[in-house]
Amino acid sequence: MKRMIGTLLIVGAMGVGMQALADEPSSTSSSSSDATMNTQTMNTHRMMKDCMAKAKASNNGMSEQDMKKSCRDQIKSKVDHPNDTSPTVTPAH
């Protein structure tokens, strides 16, 4: 299950990267596309790390597995709707 979620996050990040590449002129080198993909993966990882830190700090009684699931859902939502400025909320269980 963890691998599947991780794979989905990576595939989503690659999809966003591919869309960004499609918008760029064809003279762009492959090294910049690698940097874009690397940056997006690092951003996703950082978002997950920050979300987990906030969830742990709130100490709302959620298990670590539930916190991870909640954070993955929030990150997926941000990737799917990048212009949404509503604050992220960790549900209390």
Q: Check residue 76 and give its pLDDT.
A: 87
The reported pLDDT for the residue numbered 65 is: 92
84 phi-psi bin (left φ>0, alpha ψ -120 to 50, beta other): beta
CA gap 8, 14 in Å, rounded: 10
pLDDT beneath 70, residues of the chain: 17-33, 36-37, 84-93
Please, what is the average pLDDT of the chain? Answer: 76
**Interatomic CA distance for residues 69 and 62, integer angstroms:** 11
Q: Are 71 and 48 in contact (CB under 8 A)?
A: yes
The encoded tokens of residue 41 equal 């993966």
pLDDT of residue 12: 76
Quick one: pLDDT at residue 89? 59
Which one-letter DSSP state was computed for residue 92?
P
Q: What is the predicted pLDDT for the residue at 71?
A: 92
Q: What is the pLDDT of residue 69?
A: 93
User: Burial of 24 by CB count in 10 Å (0-12 exposed, 13-18 middle, 19+ buried)?
Assistant: exposed
Residue 49 confidence (pLDDT): 92
pTM over 0.85: no
